[in-house]
Amino acid sequence: MNPRLRKILAQVGSFALAAVLLYLALRGVDFSEVGEALREAHYVWLLPLAIITLLSHLLRAWRWQVLLETLPPETPGAAPKRVSLLTAFYSLMIGYMVNYAAPRAGEFVRAANLAKREQIRFSYVLGTVAVERILDVVVLVAALVSVFVIFFERLTVLRELFLTPILNQLGEIPALVLVILTVVIALLVFSLYRWALLQSARYENGWVRRLGAAMASFKEGLLTLIHTKRPVMMVFSTLAIWFCYALMAYLPLVILGMTEPYHLSLLDAWGIMVLGAVGVAIPSPGGVGSYHYITIETLVNLFGVPVSPAASYAILSHAGQLLLYVAVGFLAVLLQGSGLRTLNETTDENKPASS
């Protein structure tokens, strides 16, 4: 299939998924109540919410900067490159902006932007992005476990919301088949990696050598988490990021006046945020639809919030982040001295030939 056509079909599919999930999330919602809730909201809390949101991403950019500093220098014997925190932050926010148009493409764009501006090999940078995502998944799994422990008395609701649908799907596939498929895929990936490295040593030029070199560089990016000399800072920044996320989930409850009527605390906001993060992980544009669906279901079924206030919360929190990310991302493009066309050219330069 033509790569461009495949890309278009993937984007159309993601927007279609978002539309379906958004319909499922908002069906039965009384939008007059939503409008009234948004009109009566305490918007004085928007500024602290925006500051905490930007702080969380500045912390993420700082953590990324530490990983990037662990990369081997392009010239043997040279000092490690000091990556600009501002460039890391700009690249991160540009990536978030792009994710609203093309799910997951933002990770590629932010790596390409930073690689271009800091003159670092793209595959190195992309490896550090992969490390960040792996770290996020590990923390998210731990956070999910904490939610099940904190809300143990509501375990039945959590199971019906999240585990039962997954188990029903997996139950149709024999366990042995799943194990065999997992082993086969792992062996194929490892074999491809080894083959590329062996072949790259046999060819002075050509795509095989370039592929082997790129994979070796990507591996160096992945190893930055192990090689970092500031593990305490990595742990601190990660905990601080997720604490900011909890506040980002709590403040919209304050803005909408939902804390007292429904007895919602910062701990409850932690549960809402963690379960909402599962929705954002679904490949829809910027979590549109998937975030709304899972957040509304969580508020209604886990915390007993009526559907219209729950929808108000999901709409406000998601729309606020969308507007902030797009505005800051676009501003970052301008402040770094380029336009959207230059950003697109930078990305195209780093795309593999098959993409």
Where are the domains positioned within the chain? 13-122+133-166+230-350
Chain segment 89-137, per-residue pLDDT in tens: 999 999 999 888 776 778 888 998 998 888 888 888 888 888 888 888 8
Distance between CA 128 and CA 110 in Å, rounded?
Answer: 11
Residues in the chain: 355
Chain segment 21-72, per-residue pLDDT in tens: 778 778 878 889 999 999 999 999 999 999 999 999 999 999 999 888 887 7
For residue 335, pLDDT over 50 is answered with yes
Distance between CA 18 and CA 21 in Å, rounded?
Answer: 5
Q: Would you list the DSSP string of 85-123?
A: HHHHHHHHHHHHHHHTTSTTHHHHHHHHHHHHHHT--HH
Mean pLDDT value across the chain: 78
**Token reading at 269:** 């906001």
Chain segment 232-282, per-residue pLDDT in tens: 888 899 999 999 999 999 999 999 999 999 999 999 999 999 988 877 776
Highest mean pLDDT among 15-19, 194-198, 318-322, 335-339: 318-322
Burial grade of 6 (CB within 10 A; 0-12, 13-18, 19 or more): exposed
Eight-class DSSP state of 202: T
pLDDT of residue 208: 44
What is the pLDDT averaged over residues 285-296? Answer: 82
Closest by CA position to 57, among listed 271, 248, 334, 249:
248
Chain segment 187-229, per-residue pLDDT in tens: 665 665 565 555 545 544 444 444 444 455 555 555 666 667 7
pLDDT of residue 159: 62
Q: Which amino acid is at 173?
A: I
What phi, psi does 354 have (nearest 5°)? -90, -5
Distance between CA 209 and CA 222 in Å, rounded?
Answer: 20
pLDDT of residue 207: 43
Longest dimension (CA), the chain: 70
Integer angstrom CA distances of residue 217 from 117, 125, 234, 291: 18, 9, 22, 35
pLDDT of residue 342: 57
Answer for the pair 102, 96: CB distance below 8 angstroms, yes or no.
no
Chain segment 149-201, per-residue pLDDT in tens: 888 776 666 666 655 554 554 454 455 555 666 666 666 656 655 655 555 45
